[in-house]
Structure 1
Amino acid sequence: MDSKHIAIFIRYLPMGGIQKIAVRLANEFAKRGHTVDLVLAKGKGALADDVHPEVRTVDLNKNRVWFAVPVLWEYLLRRRPRVLLALGLTANVVATWAKIISVHNLRVVISVHNNMSRYSDNDSMWYSKYIPLSINLFYPLADKIIAVSEEVMKDMANISPKAGRKGSVIYNPVVNSEIPQKAEEPVSHPWLEEKNVPVVLGVGRLTPQKNFDLLLRAFARMKKERDARLIMLGEGNQCGQLESRIEALGIGNHVDLHGFVDNPYKYMANASLVVMSSRFEGLPTVLIEALACGCPVVSTDCPSGPREILKDGKWGRLVPVGDEAALAEAMDEALAETHDPERLRRRAQDFSVEKAVDEYLDVLLPDA
C-alpha cells in the first residue's frame, strides 16, 4: 500500500461547486507528488477535461452512487489507497460502508459542503427525510469529517454530536492563479462590452436552492429606479419557470438567461455586481470567485457561509433570505458605490488553494 496514495470519491463531474473542489484537490495533490485516483460513480460531466493528466480517473460506471458499492469495494481491494476522501452526501455514506467492509487499513475522510438541516428540508430527492438519520448512523464511522464552514460544522454537530466530535473546518480551495488569468480573457457579451449600463450577474444551477426567482423579482423592483441589466449563468430544472417569470415581470429585454459557460470569471471581472440569492449553502464558491475577480457582491444571509465569507457585511452586503425589497435596495446601493477591486481580491486570498490543500493533507495523511 502506497502511503501517499489518495482516492477521491464523488458521483460525477458536472459543472458545480463540489465538483470543482474535487477536481482542484485531485490536481493539487498530484502536483505535490501524491498518487491520486479520482473515483467517479459515473465518469461523465463538463469538468472531466479539467482533470490533470497525472490524476488517474476511475469510472465505476454506475448511474447511482448506491449501486457503486460492490465495484468500489473491488477497486479498493485492487488499488489499496491509503485514504479515501468522499465529497457529497451519498458519496459520504457509501464511503463509510466501504470502511466497514474494507480488508486493509483504509482511512476514510468525508466532507460536508452544505447546511444539512436545510438540505433535508428543501431537497426534492426521495431520501431527503432520511438525511439526519443517515448522518447519525454513518458519519461517525468515518475517521475524520471536514466541514467547509463553521456554520456547516455547527449544524452537523447539532444533528449528530458524535459526528461533530470528529469534525474539522477547512475552507474550500477556491483561489488560484487560474482565476485572474481567465478573468483577463475577452468577454463577447454585448452588454458587458458597452459599459454604459450596469450589469448584474447571477451564477449557479437553476434550482430551487439558488432561488433565482427572488433575484428576478428583486431586479425588476430595482429597475423601476435604476437602469440595469441582468445576466444569469447556469443550467437547471427551473429554466422554464424562470423564463415564465421574466415574461410575467416584463423584463425580457433586460435579462439574459445565458446558460452554461466554461469561463464565468471573465463575466465576473466585467460585471458591475454579482448577486447570490440562495436559500441555503455551505460555503458558496461563487462569492469567493467574484471577490477574486475584483467584483463587488450582494448575498442573502443564508445558512451557511455568506456571513463568514463577507465578515458580517464588511466585504459585501447581506440581506435576509427571501426578502425581495431588501435585496433590491442592497443591489441599488451597491451599484451606486465605488469599489476597490484590489481590496476585494485581497480578501479572496483567505480562500487560496495552497492554504486549503495544506490543511486537507494534514487531515488526510496525518502521519505523512
Structure 2
Amino acid sequence: MSHKISILLPNLCGGGAERVNIDLAHEFATAGHDVEFVLMQAQGELLPETLLSFDVVDLATPRARSLPLTLIRYLRRRRPDVLIAAMWPLTVIAPLAGRLSGHRCKVLVSEHCNLTSQYRNWGRMHRAMMRASMALGFRLADCRVGVSAGVAEDAATISRLPFDAFKVVHNPVPPRPEPSAEVIKRTEELWGAPPGARILTVGTMKAMKNHPLLLRAFAELDRPEARLMFVGDGSGRNELLSLARELGVADRVILVGFHPDPTPFYQTADVFALSSDYEGFGNVIVEAMACGTPVVATDCPSGPGEILDSGSYGRLVPVGNSTALASAIAVTLDEPAPKELLQSRAEDFHPAKAARAYLHLLGL
C-alpha cells in the first residue's frame, strides 16, 4: 500500500543530513511510497538534483518561530500520512504542528548531530529552551531516531527520555556510480604534480569540522611531496587559506569547492582524514571506505568510533591533537588497510537497510 511521506528540512544545502534524506527518499519511492520534500526555504546546492525526482514545497519561512503556523497550514492542505523532520528545532516543531493541525499523521523525528556539542557555547538560556522544547516535542513524536548511538544518548539526556525511546539507525550511504576514465583523469590533474601522497577531506568548511587542525597536522607531516585537498566550501574558506600561507604549505593545499559527488576524489586519494571536534555520524567516512580509501579520524562524539568499530577499520586519534593526527596519517600511508575490508564494512550502511528500519518504525 502506498503512503504519502513528507520530509521536512530547513533547505537542501550540501550537508550530510540533507544528503541522507534524499537517499532515504529514493528508497521510500522504490518501496512504492509518494515522497515530497517540505522546505523552510527552497534553496541549496542539492535542490536541482532533488527536483529531478521529487515534488518540493517551499514554505518560504526563513525563521523557525514562524514555522509552526506555516507547517500547520501545510499539513491541513496536503494531508500526508507521514511527516519526517530532521534536525532541531524542526524535530520539536513538527510533532507540535502535527497535533495542532487536527490532521493525524505519524511524525518521525531524526537528530543528526550531538546537540550538546553543537550548542555548547550558546548560553544557559538557550540550553534551557532546548531542553524544554525537546522534553515536550519528542514526547509528542511517534518515533525518534538518532543516527548514531552517541546522538541518541545525547538526545535522550537532553529530553529526559530513556535511551530506549530512541531507535539508532545509522545513516544510509549509497554506492555511487563508477566515475568515467575522463572524470578520473580530470581529478588527477586537480591534484597537481609531482606525484606524492594525497590526503583528502570532504565537508562543509565550518567550525565543527576543525579543518585548521588538519592543516596543522599536514604541516607537521614529514612528507614534502604530499598534497592536501579540501572538497567543500563554507565560511571558513578564507581562514584556511590564510592559515595555509602562515604554515608555509599553501602551495601544497588544494581547495576545489563543493562537489555533489566526491567519488572521484576518494578514488584518487591515498588517505581520507576527518578532523572534526564533533559529528552526528560521519557519512564521509563511509563514502571513503566504499571507495577503498583508508581512513584516519578524530574519535569525536558521535559516529566515527561506531563506523570504524573502535579502530578496527581505520585509525582514531584524540580530538584536537594535530601531532597524533599527523602520525596516524603517516602510518596509514605506509600501512593502508586492505581495500576489500573497507568496502565490506561500507556495505553495512546501504540505504535499503536504513529505509527498512524507518518504514518498520512507521509501521509501513
Same structural fold, with TM-score higher than 0.5 when normalized by the shorter chain = yes
2:150 alignment partner in structure 1: 151
Structure 1 residue 238: deviation in Å?
A: 1.2
| Secondary structure of 2:300's aligned partner | coil
1:75 alignment partner in structure 2: 74
**What are the Cα deviations for residues 61-84 of structure 1, in whole angstroms up to 9, with x where unaligned?**
122233232222111111111111
Worse-superposed segment, 289-298 or 28-37:
28-37
**What are the Cα deviations for residues 120-146 of structure 1, in whole angstroms up to 9, with x where unaligned?**
21579x956733333223222211100
Cα distance between partner residues in 2 of 1:205 and 1:266: 18
What pairs with 1:15-54 in structure 2 (closer than 5 Å)? Answer: 15-51=14-50, 53-54=52-53
Cα distance between partner residues in 1 of 2:88 and 2:106: 18
Do the aligned residues in 2 keep the contact of 1:37 with 1:55 (CA within 8 Å)?
Answer: yes
What pairs with 1:55-74 in structure 2 (closer than 5 Å)? Answer: 55-74=54-73
| Secondary structure of 1:219's aligned partner | helix
Cα distance between partner residues in 1 of 2:51 and 2:350: 19
Cα distance between partner residues in 2 of 1:90 and 1:35: 25
2:241 alignment partner in structure 1: 243
Worse-superposed segment, 213-222 or 59-68:
59-68
| Secondary structure of 2:119's aligned partner | helix
| Secondary structure of 2:259's aligned partner | coil
Do the aligned residues in 1 keep the contact of 2:191 with 2:229 (CA within 8 Å)?
Answer: no
| Secondary structure of 1:74's aligned partner | helix
Do the aligned residues in 1 keep the contact of 2:294 with 2:336 (CA within 8 Å)?
Answer: no
1:291 alignment partner in structure 2: 289
Cα distance between partner residues in 1 of 2:180 and 2:98: 42
Do the aligned residues in 2 keep the contact of 1:10 with 1:87 (CA within 8 Å)?
Answer: yes
User: Taking structure 1 as reference, are residues 54 and 133 closer, same or farther at Cα in structure 2, changes over 3 Å only?
Assistant: same
Do the aligned residues in 2 keep the contact of 1:120 with 1:132 (CA within 8 Å)?
Answer: no
1:347 alignment partner in structure 2: 345
Structure 1 residue 31: deviation in Å?
A: 2.2
Cα distance between partner residues in 1 of 2:51 and 2:305: 33
User: Taking structure 1 as reference, are residues 24 and 138 closer, same or farther at Cα in structure 2, changes over 3 Å only?
Assistant: same
Do the aligned residues in 1 keep the contact of 2:191 with 2:254 (CA within 8 Å)?
Answer: no
Structure 1 residue 309: deviation in Å?
A: 0.3
| Secondary structure of 1:162's aligned partner | coil
* Structure 2 residue 231 is the aligned partner of structure 1 residue 233: yes
User: Taking structure 1 as reference, are residues 15 and 206 closer, same or farther at Cα in structure 2, changes over 3 Å only?
Assistant: same
1:119 alignment partner in structure 2: 118
| Secondary structure of 2:241's aligned partner | helix
Unaligned runs of 5+ in 2: none
| Secondary structure of 1:81's aligned partner | coil
Structure 1 residue 355: deviation in Å?
A: 0.7
Cα distance between partner residues in 1 of 2:319 and 2:180: 29
Do the aligned residues in 2 keep the contact of 1:14 with 1:47 (CA within 8 Å)?
Answer: yes
Structure 1 residue 263: deviation in Å?
A: 2.4
> For residue 208 of structure 2, what is the amino acid of its counterpart?
Q
**What are the Cα deviations for residues 144-175 of structure 1, in whole angstroms up to 9, with x where unaligned?**
10011111111222222326442101111112
Structure 1 residue 303: deviation in Å?
A: 0.3
User: Taking structure 1 as reference, are residues 54 and 250 closer, same or farther at Cα in structure 2, changes over 3 Å only?
Assistant: closer
Worse-superposed segment, 62-71 or 196-205:
62-71
Cα distance between partner residues in 2 of 1:225 and 1:266: 23
1:307 to 305, 309, 315: 305
Do the aligned residues in 1 keep the contact of 2:2 with 2:34 (CA within 8 Å)?
Answer: no
> For residue 315 of structure 1, what is the amino acid of its counterpart?
Y
Cα distance between partner residues in 1 of 2:347 and 2:310: 18
Do the aligned residues in 2 keep the contact of 1:275 with 1:297 (CA within 8 Å)?
Answer: yes
1:181 to 147, 158, 178: 178
Structure 1 residue 22: deviation in Å?
A: 1.4
- Please, what is the CA RMSD of the aligned residues? 2.1
Cα distance between partner residues in 2 of 1:84 and 1:73: 12
Do the aligned residues in 2 keep the contact of 1:66 with 1:94 (CA within 8 Å)?
Answer: no
> For residue 150 of structure 1, what is the amino acid of its counterpart?
A
Cα distance between partner residues in 2 of 1:34 and 1:62: 27
> For residue 342 of structure 2, what is the amino acid of its counterpart?
L
> For residue 178 of structure 2, what is the amino acid of its counterpart?
Q
User: Taking structure 1 as reference, are residues 87 and 63 closer, same or farther at Cα in structure 2, changes over 3 Å only?
Assistant: same
| Secondary structure of 1:85's aligned partner | strand
User: Taking structure 1 as reference, are residues 74 and 154 closer, same or farther at Cα in structure 2, changes over 3 Å only?
Assistant: same
* Structure 2 residue 247 is the aligned partner of structure 1 residue 214: no
Q: What percent of counterpart residues are identical?
A: 37
User: Taking structure 1 as reference, are residues 163 and 130 closer, same or farther at Cα in structure 2, changes over 3 Å only?
Assistant: farther
What pairs with 1:192-211 in structure 2 (closer than 5 Å)? Answer: 192=191, 196-211=195-210
What pairs with 1:96-175 in structure 2 (closer than 5 Å)? Answer: 96-122=95-121, 127=126, 130-162=129-161, 164-175=163-174
**What are the Cα deviations for residues 20-77 of structure 1, in whole angstroms up to 9, with x where unaligned?**
0111112221222111111111111111122264522111112223323222211111
Cα distance between partner residues in 2 of 1:160 and 1:279: 23
The aligned length equals 361
User: Taking structure 1 as reference, are residues 307 and 250 closer, same or farther at Cα in structure 2, changes over 3 Å only?
Assistant: same
2:315 alignment partner in structure 1: 317
TM (normalized to structure 1)? 0.92
Do the aligned residues in 2 keep the contact of 1:10 with 1:91 (CA within 8 Å)?
Answer: yes
User: Taking structure 1 as reference, are residues 3 and 152 closer, same or farther at Cα in structure 2, changes over 3 Å only?
Assistant: same
Unaligned runs of 5+ in 1: none
User: Taking structure 1 as reference, are residues 245 and 138 closer, same or farther at Cα in structure 2, changes over 3 Å only?
Assistant: same
